[in-house]
Amino acid sequence: MNARHGLAAARIALPALLLCACAGGTDGGLPGSAAPRAIDPGYSAKDAEIIETGPDGKPRYRLSAERIDQDPVSLEVELRKLTMKVTDQRSGDWRLQADQGRMPQDGQSVALSGSVRVEGTVGERAEPIEIRTASLDYDLADAQLSAPREVTILLSGKWLEARGMEADLKARRVRLESDVHGRFTP
C-alpha cells in the first residue's frame, strides 16, 4: 500500500513542479532556463511634443504637453497642460487645450479633463466656434467628440449651454443632451 501511495504522490508532485517552473518559479540555475522579464519602465518627458502622421506623411495631430508619462503596465499615456492641433480634410482644423489628458497606446483617442477648450471653424463662412467643458473624449479616427457634463458652445455672438454633448466633426452635427439654454443676438 505504501508503494502505491508513494507513486501517486510522485505523479502529483511532478506536474506541480513543471507547472511551477513554467509559471515563473525558481529555475535553480539550470542552463538554458529563461531569465525573468524586466518590466518596461515606459517613458517620461517634459515640454514634449507627439506628432502623429497620416498615410500621406502629413501630421494628423501635434500634441504638446508640459509633461508626458507612459504607464509601464497599461502603456497608456498621461498628459499634463496640453495643447493639441488636429488637422483633417473632412472635419477641418481643431485646437484643443486641457489641464490633463489620457491617451491609449494606439493614439486613436484622447480623454481630456480640467478646463477643456476646443476651437475651430464651422460653416461656409468659417465662423469661429469654441467649446468649453470640464471633460471631453475625442475619438480622433472618427472625429467624434463627447462631453458627459456641462458644456458651453460659443459661436459668433451666440452661446448655448447644455448638459452633455455629442459632436460629429466630419458630418458637422452636434447633439445636446439636456438642460439646453442659449442666447442669439443679431
Q: How many residues does the chain have?
A: 186
Alpha carbon of 84 to those of 51, 80, 148: distances in Å?
10, 12, 21
What average pLDDT does the segment 110-122 reach? 93
- Tell me whether residue 11 is in a domain: no
12 φ/ψ angles, rounded to the nearest 5 degrees: -75, -40
- Tell me whether residue 19 is in a domain: no
Whole-model pTM?
0.71
**Count of structural domains within the chain:** 1
- Tell me whether residue 14 is in a domain: no
CATH of the domain at 58: 2.60.450.10
What average pLDDT does the segment 35-61 reach? 81
Identity of residue 139: D
Residue bearing the bigger pLDDT, 148 or 186: 148
Average pLDDT, the chain: 80
- Tell me whether residue 175 is in a domain: yes
- Tell me whether residue 35 is in a domain: no
- Tell me whether residue 26 is in a domain: no
Q: Which domain holds residue 129?
A: 44-184
Q: What's residue 31's pLDDT?
A: 54
- Tell me whether residue 7 is in a domain: no
Lowest mean pLDDT among 1-5, 128-132, 149-153: 1-5
Q: Is 12 helix (H, G, I), strand (E, B) or coil?
A: helix
117 and 132 in contact (C-beta within 8 Å)?
yes
Q: What's residue 96's pLDDT?
A: 95
Report how far residue 51's alpha carbon sits from residue 152's, in angstroms, rounded to the nearest whole number: 29
171 confidence band (pLDDT: 50, 70, 90):
confident
